[in-house]
Amino acid sequence: MGRRSSRRGWNSTLVGAALGVTLLATGASVWTAQAGAADGPSPEAAAPATPAGDMRPTAVTIAHASDAGTRGVNITIDDGPDPRWTPQVLDVLREYGVKATFCMVGPQAQAHPDLVKKVVAAGHRLCDHSVSHDTTMDKKSEAYQSQQILDAERMITKASGGVRPMYYRAPGGAFTPYSRKLAASRGMRPLGWNVDSKDFERPGTDTIVATVERELPNGPTLLFHDAGGDRTQTVEALRRVLPQLKEQGYTFGFPVR
């Protein structure tokens, strides 16, 4: 649903990391979705990686649905990678056989390319989460939005060894028509969420689990974090939520493309 998060102080740790403005590539194809078709085209075959240079037509609308169908759930992990917490999240996902989408902040990916490669090698997908995690991006110039999105894309792709992000998630849901079109022109589907676990606030594992259970009827895309502070509660919540969802008959997929 892409509602705005309250995490406005987070980007202060990344200010100054932004590089020069990257020019928008011309001639890229954008898929114009019909009004109201929030989930865009039919999902394509799931692929864990998109090689550099693979520019497929991509919908500009914000994705929420799962390619796993009506009982599908998408696990999305934001703000990393982090050398302490990302490996623990990967361990839990591996334990339960779940694939996730990791929405990475550019400088974090640049600082920890080994972790980006581990994410890809495990069959998870990459998502561009900007350079500075600026939740006021929608109030900034198009040139600034371009720099934030395209520099992060470049950092993540380089760190991964050539695997491109398949999605773009605006920090705090601060999408604009321009940023969505720009992301789509680069083959990155704008990605929202339906269930905000509120794990970023560290309310306690029980509360995180209860929030997921309460909000799951809102839709299939769940939001968690693997950076930005102590993520012990997130790891433990995932350890409880993943098997519970399986017991309830849910399957795990990726956001529609």
Grade residue 55 by pLDDT with cuts at 50, 70 and 90: low
d(CA 88, CA 142): 37
Higher pLDDT, 13 or 188: 188
Q: How far is CA 173 from CA 106, 185, 190, 193, 255, in A?
A: 17, 19, 10, 9, 16
d(CA 12, CA 181): 27
Are the C-beta atoms of 70 and 43 separated by less than 8 Å? no
- Is 24 inside a domain boundary? no
d(CA 130, CA 168): 8
Whether 138 sits among the annotated catalytic residues: the reply is no
Grade residue 57 by pLDDT with cuts at 50, 70 and 90: confident
The pLDDT value given to residue 21: 35
d(CA 143, CA 120): 30
Count of other CB atoms within 10 angstroms of residue 190: 24
What does residue 54 show for φ and ψ, rounded to 5 degrees? -85, 95
- Is 98 inside a domain boundary? yes
Whether 78 sits among the annotated catalytic residues: the reply is yes
- Is 185 inside a domain boundary? yes
Q: Count of domains in the chain?
A: 1
Are the C-beta atoms of 113 and 83 separated by less than 8 Å? no
- The whole model's pTM is what? 0.81
- Is 123 inside a domain boundary? yes
Higher pLDDT, 28 or 236: 236
Grade residue 256 by pLDDT with cuts at 50, 70 and 90: very high
Residue range 102-127: average pLDDT?
98
Q: Give the residue carrying structure tokens 């999105």.
A: 149
The residue segments making up the domain with residue 114 are 72-248
Given 67, 78, 82, 128, which residue is catalytic?
78
- Is 101 inside a domain boundary? yes
Has residue 27 got a pLDDT over 90? no
- Is 169 inside a domain boundary? yes
Residue range 219-238: average pLDDT?
98
CATH code where residue 205 lies:
3.20.20.370
Given 151, 196, 225, 226, which residue is catalytic?
225
Grade residue 50 by pLDDT with cuts at 50, 70 and 90: low
